[in-house]
Amino acid sequence: MRSYVSPKSARTVGRWINAVPRHARALPEQLSPERTWADVLALRNGSGFRAVARFGRDYQCRANPTVPVTIGWSERDRILPLHMADLARERIPQAEHVTLPGCGHMPVSDDPALISSVVLDTIAAAAKP
């Protein structure tokens, strides 16, 4: 089922979302109200969102990766605060753990160049013999 929201409503709601304390993005002003509203609708309408959220409540990661893995934790994430990265380090010690400075919960929106760099560094590590 698709949602129809008029452009005016999208701008109004988007401005409200951008005015809310920076829970999801460290730099919400970088995105237009329309883009912000589109992100909200995509999340709400995503077919797997609720199932993943339910599964995640009791999930206990015990990964033992056999390929290079990088876990980036956003410095300004208010949904998954930086101190929670300690648990990731404990559970997946063989991963490369990096802090994403200045980023909130949606680091790709906050600093796409930084995220690209982290991904490319991980790919380069995987290419090493």
pLDDT digits (tens, 9 = 90+) for 74-95: 999 888 889 999 988 998 999 9
> Which run of H or E residues covers position 20?
none
pTM of the entire predicted model:
0.65
Is-contact 115 107, C-beta < 8 A?
Answer: yes
Beta bridge pairs of residue 99: 73
pLDDT at 5 over 90: no
What residues does each domain of the chain span? 1-59, 60-129
Q: Which two tokens stand for residue 87?
A: 């648990």
Instruction: Flag the least confident range among 19-28, 58-67, 101-110.
Output: 19-28
Q: Which residues of 39-57 are buried (b: 16+ CB within 10 A; e: fewer)?
A: bbeeeeeeeeeeeeeeeee
